[in-house]
Amino acid sequence: MEILRSVGLTAAASAASILVLFLLTKLMGSKQVSQMTMFDYITGITIGSVAAEMATELEEPSKPLTALVIYGLAAVGISMLTSKSVRARSAVTGKPLVLLDNGVIDRDNLKKARMDLNEFLTFCRMSGYFDLSQVQTAVLEHNGVVSFLPKEPYRPTTPSDMDLKPKQSRVQIPFIMDGKLLPDNITQAGREDAWVRRALLKQGYRDESEVLLALWDGDAKLTVFPMRASRLPE
């Protein structure tokens, strides 16, 4: 009986820690790992550790819960401060460092970034630059990513270079997912369910149940992916 009670308390504490983590994450905002500052990274690890302790601390779960809330509020507070203050932003997130400019590698900034030449060359190759003479400027961003500005002869050609004026593309809107219509998306796009079904029939699909995903591009085109890989429109 005691074992069942312990298991029940652990399960309840785990569920509570997951709920608190979810609420704190929503409050703090979502960032990819590559977009995190050093402070974000450390805070995330600490909050995760405290949440794990909360799930197993059955005698006094209020202590790790309090620490969890304090860390979360501190992260939110610092995020708000950095969004309003340039000085605070520089102190917390740091400043970009120019590693290469106009054919000259800045050794001092490499030292500040704790980066050696081999690491710098690795970043260049990962971005497709095997010839440094093609790079005009390389900047180490605050999140650890190196951004590159190619020299003009080596940058990709754009339509404006060729005096072309292509039609502006639009974000595709999902109309069907997992065999089910998404009426809210369809209505917001100014279409109707009947229009979607007619578009499916034109491509050989009897109804939405045969469709895994259907995307509308803002024009008359409906891009359809079948539910089964072997299914081909008639």
Please check whether residue 234 lies inside any domain of the structure.
no
pLDDT in tens, the chain (234 residues): 666 666 566 676 667 666 766 666 665 555 544 455 666 666 667 777 777 676 666 667 677 777 777 777 777 777 777 777 777 766 667 788 999 999 999 999 999 988 999 999 999 999 999 999 999 999 998 778 899 999 999 888 888 888 888 887 788 899 999 999 999 999 999 999 999 999 999 999 999 999 999 999 887 789 999 988 665 544
Residue at which a domain ends, from 63, 90, 117:
90
Domain extent, residue 199, equals 173-226
Please check whether residue 233 lies inside any domain of the structure.
no
Domains identified in the chain, total number = 3
Residue at which a domain ends, from 40, 60, 90:
90
| CA–CA distance, 137 with 131 (Å, rounded to integer) | 13
The answer to whether 40 touches 89, Cβ cutoff 8 Å, is no
Distances (CA, A) of 173 to 112, 166, 170: 45, 21, 9
pLDDT attached to residue 120 = 95
Q: Does one domain contain both 138 and 205?
A: no
Please check whether residue 168 lies inside any domain of the structure.
no
CATH number for the domain harbouring residue 216: 3.30.240.20
pTM over 0.85: no
Q: Does one domain contain both 33 and 49?
A: yes
